[in-house]
Structure 1
Amino acid sequence: MILSTEDKDLFYRLNWSLLFYVNKKYPVINGIDTPDFKNQDLNKVLEIHEKIFANTELIDSFVAENPFNFNQYELDIIKSWKNFVKGRFYIVTHLKNHSIFLKDDEQKAYGVIGLIDEIEDITPPYEPSLVGTVLLPFKGKIIHYGLFQFHNILFGSGIKKNIKVNYQTAKSKFGIILSLDTPISETKGSDEELLRFYARSEANRAQFWDEIRQLLRKNPLFYKIYYQEIGKSNTRRVKKRLSEIGLASRWFAIFEDIIIASGQTEQEVKAQIDSLLPEAKRDSVYIFRHVLK
């Protein structure tokens, strides 16, 4: 996804005006008389940007002086750029509405849209890739500032796995961050989502056992979620085996890796669970339907 032509023109008009203002105060590019940086040396444009991100008071002074007579709406957009996010990002994947940028030094994932070109078309053709850039808020969305520093690194399976884990953890904690206009906070129920992620496979449970224990100590009610996820993680193997032996379609209840009940209907299975298990254990059971194929 990219900005509309109208929004693209607005961004460059505002951004170049700010760059022009800063260049006048701290000259980097000589002989520039209008706020047009289209054909300028990108390294020098980058240097001007760096001055802004190193001293956001320049944004405040630009807004206060308003040398280009922008309206309040336009000034508010420029002022919002003080909420920039700068650094290195793993581009994890490209979705329909945005590309996912995962911060390399913290577990936060941002949904970013392109300016002129689709991000997918101007970044390395493999996933994940590593880039340096700056993310900016713009009209309720997140964009990049137009410049990328590419790190041509092909990651091995171990690093790819860690990036995937960090991405899943980021989604569980914060969701996909789609705006920088408000403070970023953990999503409601993020502990529950984290536990589901940690417990979703045997490999995850081994890798995140310390984190699992901390969450269970923090909230003992999470034990039922933990055991449900263990049961759920075993259903694929169980379903495959049931199909191999030709078992007819029906409902099953599994506790960890043990089938404890089955029936023609879900209600029948629940009734069996009530008669088999103490009340405290019933919510820890995972119920699923096997369909013979």
Structure 2
Amino acid sequence: MKKLIKEFYEKESQIVEKLEKIEKKSQDKQGNFYSLYLEMYSTLKEEGYEIIGSGYSRTVFAKNEDDYVIKLASNQDGIIANKGEVNLSTSEDTSNNISVILPDLYSYSKKGNWLICEKVNTIENVSLEDLKKVFPTFYYFASTKMIGNKIIQKDIEISEFKEFISNVFFDALRRPVLDVKRFLMILKRKSYEDHDIVNIYKNFPLKDIKRFVEATTYDFTADLHLGNLGIKKDLNLSPESFVILDYDTGVTRGIKKVRHRYDVENSPNAKIIKEPPAKEKKFPLDRVPDFDAILAAESVYRKLLEYAIQS
């Protein structure tokens, strides 16, 4: 876990102390969960914290001037979610890479009632210029088009780029096996352009793609919509600034064979099953695979159109 700078650390420590006192009092009185939740909820409101987000199982509180948020479990699923997030950030049972793609964790309840973590900006509230710095490979695919052998820059609105990011991640999560090459093919297909994947793979840094693929090799999230993607408040934004706000380790998609497998029966924190990885087929970059048939057809159509115009 990391610590906040002194100004925020002192404020965070004060609210941690109050939340822990409420938990202890509830335990001594053997109070039920919902009375505990309401007391913590009321205390946070009295301390000036505002609700900045809420979902099925957790309520998120923050102050405008503070660099942290408080995630309060609103039911038993919220407790499991908090414990799971803490486990992913601190436990050796998960891959070594997963914590780098999560907001920094500062404090938490061992019972899972609450946790305090880094405040970040959601992608929905980030400018196009900042998104370009965090997702440079994504932006290249979304903002360029191929005319013959020439790469032409095209105008793209921020709403289009956000939709492109969302569609790429959605497609990536459906893949039973994902690596950098396969991720590039997804970007190519979603851009509807005949990009030179071989050249891009050999000569581009691909830091944004590599970071996501490496971080999610063993630890899977099934919940990656735009509202769940965040950007750290770094002075110099880069692909290292991208985080996932709520890392859902539940395997409830009805898909039995996925690239990430969990022992969910024995632990709510989703420990990795120790088994050999799925055998991967060779994936050459110099041909378009079967699932890119539509892209291939469009590429042929464009070339025929170019020849017609030239003649």
| TM-score, scaled to structure 2 | 0.30
Q: Which has the higher strand share?
A: 1
